[in-house]
Amino acid sequence: MPYDPSADVIEVIRHPAPNRAAGAYRVFGETLRGMKTTFARVVEGPHTIQYPEEKTPVYPRFRGRHRLHRFDDSDPAHPGLEKCVGCSLCAAACPADCIRVVAAENTPENRISAGERYAAVYEINLSRCIFCGYCEVACPFDAITMGHDYELSDYTRSDLIFTKEMLLAEPIERTPLRGEGE
Amino acid sequence: MIALADVNYFEPWWAQIIKALVIFGVLFAILPMLTIYERKLLGRFQGRYGPNRVGPFGLMQPLAEIVKFATKEPFRPTTSIGFLFRLAPMLAILTSVSALALIPWGNVQHIFGTRFGLYGIDVSVGPLYVFAMSGISFYGIMLGGWASGSKYSFLGAMRGAAQLISYEVAQGLALVGVIISAQTLSLTGIINAQQGMWYIVPQMAGFLIFMVASFAETNRAPFDLVEADAELVAGYFTEYGGTGFVAYLFSEYVNMMVVSGIATAMFLGGWHLPGNPSFPGWIDPIIVFAKMMIFMTLFIWIRATLPRLRYDQLMSFGWKVLLPLATLNLLITAIVVVV
C-alpha cells in the first residue's frame, strides 16, 4: 500500500482568533469566571472526611475483620453457647490459609458450643487474610461472619493473630454503617 | 555632598529605633500567620480544610514548622559555591524587609508629646526606593540559583532574571500615572492627595497593570515560573533546606506584603476611608492592614484559580501587552494632568 501523506494530517478545529481588544476582554472575563468557580468551592465548604474523628461509613455487606458469634442468652435451645462447632470447614475453604482450628469434645459439665465438638483454638492470622469471605460462605452454622472493622494496623505481626476471645468480643469501636441510599 | 533623597525626619533618634523595632517585630509575628492564612484559604478553595491538626484550628502549624526548619541540618551540594550559597537567602530577605520600611501605616500622631509618623521612613523617592529594593532582591534569587550549582536552580534563576526585566518596567510605568496625578513621590504625600478620591478610580488601568505585574514581581501564581514545581522541582531554591529555605519563603511573603502595601498606599488611599470619617489615630494601621489583607486574599485567590503560564506567553504578555498599556496609561494621564 503506497504511503499517503495526507493520512497523517490531523484536522484541528480552532476557534477564530480574536482581535486584540476582544482577546484582552476574553482573558479578563475568563479569569473572572475562573475566580467565580473557585469561590463557589469556598461557599460549598470542604468535602474531606476528618478521618480519625470521622469515619467513612461502610456498606452493610462490607467485608472487614471477622467476628465469631454466640447464640443469644435468650435462645431457648442453647442460651449463650458458641455457634462454632470446630468443623474446620472455614480453614479448609481459606485460600490464604490463615485460619487455624483445633477442635475438642464438649462434655456435659463443660458445654461450650451447641454441637458435639467446639473450637478449643480458633485463630485468624489477619496479616495473611485477604478478606475474601469464603470462610463466611463455608460455615454451616453462620458462626463466622465478616464484620465491619477496617482499622487493622498494629505494631507487631504477632499482634495481628486474633484469638477466639478477641473474635468473639464486641468491637471496641463501632464502625459507622452506611444507610439506605447513602 | 549631594543628597540623593530627602528623608522627612522629625522624630528624635530613639523614636526611629522604636519604630523600626515595632514594625519589624509586629510584621514578623504576622508573617507566620499569613502562611497559615494562605494554606487554610487555599484549602477552602480546593474543597478541603487545610492544616488543622496542630493547636486550635491548626494555628500552631507555623510554629511547629519553624521549629522543624530551624533544627534541620544545614547542607549544600558539593557543586555549590559556599559563600554565595549562604549569602543569597540573606540578600533576599534583607531587601524585602528594607522595602517594608516604606509602607505607610498611618498618619503623623502625637504620642507622649512627640510626633510619630506611623511608618518606617518617609522618603521623597518612595516608590523608586521600593523598586530599587525589589530589583536587588532578584539578586538573591539569581545568586541563590546560580550558586547552588544545580541545573534546576540555574534554570529557575534565569527565568527569574528574564521575568524581572519584563515586568518591572510595566510595574513602574503603571505607578507613574499615580505619581503624576499626586505630583509627589512621597508615599504619605500620595496618600494625603487621595482624601477626595482614591486613585483606583481615575487610575483603574494603572491599577490593573500594577496588580498583574505584581504577581510576576512576587513570583506568585500564575507567574511562578521561577519556582515552577512541575518542571523545575522548586526552581531557584531547589537545593535549599532549613533556614535558607525559610529565608526565601519569608522573603516571598514579605514581598507580597510590600506590594500590597504599595498598592494600598498608591491606589486605595492608605488610611483614608470613603467619606473621611474621623477615627482616633491608632485605627489607621488597622485600616491599612485590612486593605492589605484584601490584596493578600486576592493573591491567594488567583493562585487557587489560574494555572501557570508558559514561559513565552509570560514574556510576550509582559512586553507586548502590559508595557504598551502602561505607556498609554502614562501618556493619557500626563495629557489630562497638563491640560
| Whether pLDDT at B182 is above 80 | yes
> At A144, phi and psi to the nearest 5?
-115, 135
Residues from chain A that touch B58, judged by Cβ atoms under 8 A, are: none
B155 in Cβ contact with B226 (< 8 Å):
no
C-alpha closest to that of B102 among B183, B215, B20: B20
CB crowding A27-64: b at 16 or more within 10 Å, else e:
eeeeeeebbeebeebbeeebeeeeeeeeeeebeeebbb
d(CA B34, CA B32) in angstroms, rounded, equals: 5
Average pLDDT rounded to a whole number, residues B219-241: 78
pLDDT in tens, A6-57: 877 877 776 666 666 677 677 778 888 888 888 888 888 888 888 888 888 8
ipTM given for this complex: 0.71
The residues spanned by each domain of chain B are: 80-108+122-338
- B317 secondary structure, DSSP code: I
Residues of A with CB under 8 A from a CB of B: 24, 31, 34-35, 37-39, 41-42, 44-48, 50
C-alpha closest to that of B174 among B121, B131, B220: B131
Residues from chain A that touch B46, judged by Cβ atoms under 8 A, are: 41
The secondary structure element, H or E, covering residue A66 is: strand A66-68
Secondary structure in 3-state letters for A72-116 = CCCCCCCCCCECCCCCCHHHHHCCCCCEEEEEEECCCCCCCECCC
pLDDT in tens, B286-299: 888 888 899 999 98
What global pTM score does this model have? 0.77
In this structure, the strands spanning A117-125 and A144-146 are unpaired
B100 pLDDT band, cuts 50/70/90, is: confident
Neighbours of A163 (CB within 10 A): 12
Contact A38 B321 (CB under 8 A): no
Task: For the domain covering A66-168, report its CATH number.
Answer: 3.30.70.3270
A79 pLDDT band, cuts 50/70/90, is: confident
Give the model's pLDDT for residue A7: 79
Q: Which of A28, A38, A49, A54 to mutate to test the interface with B (most CBs of B within 10 A)?
A: A38
d(CA B130, CA B136) in angstroms, rounded, equals: 10
Give the model's pLDDT for residue A15: 65
Give the model's pLDDT for residue B6: 66
pLDDT in tens, B152-180: 888 888 888 888 878 888 888 888 888 88
Which of A37, A39, A46 has the CB atom closest to B48's CB atom? A46
Taking CA B171 as the corner, what is the angle to CA B123 and CA B276, rounded to the nearest 5 degrees?
60
pLDDT, averaged across chain A: 84
| Shortest Cα–Cα distance, B167 to chain A (Å) | 18
Contact B47 A35 (CB under 8 A): no
d(CA B253, CA B251) in angstroms, rounded, equals: 5
Residues from chain B that touch A31, judged by Cβ atoms under 8 A, are: 305-306
pLDDT in tens, A91-125: 999 999 999 999 888 888 888 888 888 888 999 99
| Whether pLDDT at A166 is above 80 | yes
Contact A48 B304 (CB under 8 A): no
Average pLDDT rounded to a whole number, residues B277-306: 84
